Amino acid sequence: MTEAEKLKENLFRKTKTGWEGLQENVKNSIFTFCDNYIEFLNKSKTEREIVKSVKEIIEEKGFKNICEYSNLKPGDKVYYINREKSMYLAIIGKNSIENGINIIGAHADSPRLDLKPNPLYEDSGLAYLKTHYYGGVKKYQWTTIPLSMHGVIVKSNGEKQEINIGEDKEDPIFTITDLLPHLAAEQMERKLKEGIKGEELNLLVGSIPYNGESISDAVKLNILKILNDKYGIKEIDFVSSEIELVPAFCARTMGLDRSMVAGYGQDDKVCVYTSVRALLNTENPQTTAVCIISDKEEIGSMGNTGMESHVFDTFISELLNRLGINRPNLLDQVFCNSKMLSADVDAAYDPIYASAYEKNNSGFLGRGVGINKYTGARGKSGASDANAEFVAQVRGIFEKNDIKYEVAELGKIDIGGGGTIAYILANKGVDVIDCGVPVLSMHAPYEVTSKFDIYETYRAYEAFWEN
Ligand code: MN
Ligand code: MN
């Protein structure tokens, strides 16, 4: 190497792909980890299913519902489930909790189509369910793909029916039709964002009239009869239901080199999975390790299962009560001494749409875990913007553990923007930075991630808690 080359090697930040020079055994570990991740994705497509899957995994490893503990001591593993849709996990550390906790927080909800409260209607001999999209979606992406139905219907007497149709090979699936190109001249003139309108996202669910009788709405009647036979429900019961339509296809290994994962809902189930797996490796941490699996992030974190609710504060207060140290203002003090990785996905640089990104500050597939000092839009508006001192601490942990990381800013200035749950915890006094997996086609029915980044994110979360 020339002197200039040496100097460059020494002074420039590294931008190499993580795959380069990777040892075969590490590559195998990455692939095995991602096989398990794919399996997890395929049985947990909604926030309720995520909570159920995670509960199963962690109970096997000795986590217990917080209600089962009257006193807590270092090493104890607890969880709390909030209305079946969000959950908090903790491992009590050796250090006093007064000195703060280490939080990693992801969200389990993903963009999708929800059924409206009065969804069922018949038109021209076809039965449809009306939907209301949830989160930021490009609506045209949700037509002409197989969709499955997940959720619950609760009758007024409290009886609950779980619905899961379209995942089993024997199940029917559903789809939303689109106009054939031959007749779409007018539709094709619409702007892309109106290519398919919200009120056109109607799910086709039936076409056989009840008993062939010539009464009105006989196809709708037949659908209700089927639902009544199977679940004992009537049309009015949809009013108290939460039914989500999600892609019926499976998450899969992607690429000839098998380097990527394609699947629905990787925003933000990839961070849920990597953080839960990292927590399971954490035994007797110095600092109390806390994992958040939040709900409603995609629609602004509102509601009593969203991060804006005070249920998380209550959970931490319950830890303080059971440690026998609670007193006025202690909760605020704990938060002010705490650190957090807001575990959410980043927009990966997409060379096909290069003009949306600023190359120097974009996350690239295969370069490791993405860190995002600030989110927001138009001059960082709405961002919590992590302190340089805290970014340095997090970097330090990654560098000490040889974890590949990269900066992953969300696109060019003034071209758009977005947010995560970071600011909510920052408002409580916690030091927070966004830190997660770069994703291509974010919020589409099929999102793409790099297996290297998934594994590196898992290692990053583990290092943060072990530190
Ligand atoms: Mn997200
Ligand atoms: Mn999102």
* Mean pLDDT, residues 380-384: 93
Query: In this structure, is the dihedral angle defined by the CA atoms of residues 179, 181, 185 and 189, taken in order, positive or negative?
Result: positive
Q: pLDDT tens digits for 346-370?
A: 999 999 999 999 999 999 999 999 9
Average pLDDT taken over every residue of the chain: 97
Rounded distance from Cα 110 to ligand 2 centre (Å): 7
Asked if residues 430 and 338 have their Cβ atoms less than 8 Å apart, the reply is yes
Per the model's pLDDT, the better-predicted residue between 354 and 212 turns out to be 354
Taking 3-state DSSP, the helix, strand and coil percentages for the chain, each rounded to the nearest 5, stand at 35, 25, 40
Q: What angle do CA 324, 326, 330 make, to 5 degrees?
A: 145
Q: Is the pLDDT of residue 303 over 80?
A: yes
DSSP string of 332-369? HHHHHT-EEEE---EEBP-GGGGGGS-GGG-B-TTS-E
Amino acid at 310: H
Q: pLDDT tens digits for 43-85?
A: 999 999 999 999 999 999 999 999 999 999 999 999 999 999 9
Q: Ligand 1 is a single-atom ion; what residues have CB below 5 A from it?
A: 267-268, 344
Helix locations, 78-128, DSSP H: none
Helix locations, 367-429, DSSP H: 388-400, 422-426
Rounded distance from Cα 162 to ligand 2 centre (Å): 26
* Structure confidence at residue 351 (pLDDT): 98
Rounded distance from Cα 253 to ligand 1 centre (Å): 21
Rounded distance from Cα 201 to ligand 1 centre (Å): 23
Q: Is the pLDDT of residue 192 over 80?
A: yes
Rounded distance from Cα 299 to ligand 2 centre (Å): 9
Angle between helices 451-466 and 266-280 (to 10 degrees): 40
Q: Of the bound ligands, which one is closest to the alpha carbon of residue 134? A: 2
Q: CA 169, CA 256: separation in Å to the nearest integer?
A: 26
Asked if residues 176 and 143 have their Cβ atoms less than 8 Å apart, the reply is yes
Rounded distance from Cα 441 to ligand 1 centre (Å): 13
* Structure confidence at residue 340 (pLDDT): 98
Q: Is the pLDDT of residue 173 over 90?
A: yes
* Structure confidence at residue 467 (pLDDT): 82
Q: Band of the pLDDT at 214, cuts 50, 70, 90?
A: confident
Please tell me the pTM assigned to this model. Answer: 0.97
Q: Band of the pLDDT at 193, cuts 50, 70, 90?
A: very high
Q: Is the pLDDT of residue 212 over 80?
A: no
Rounded distance from Cα 101 to ligand 2 centre (Å): 26
Domains, the chain = 3-110+264-466 (3.40.630.10), 112-247 (2.30.250.10)
Q: Of the bound ligands, which one is closest to the alpha carbon of residue 272? A: 1
Q: pLDDT tens digits for 86-99?
A: 999 999 999 999 99
Q: Is the pLDDT of residue 152 over 90?
A: yes
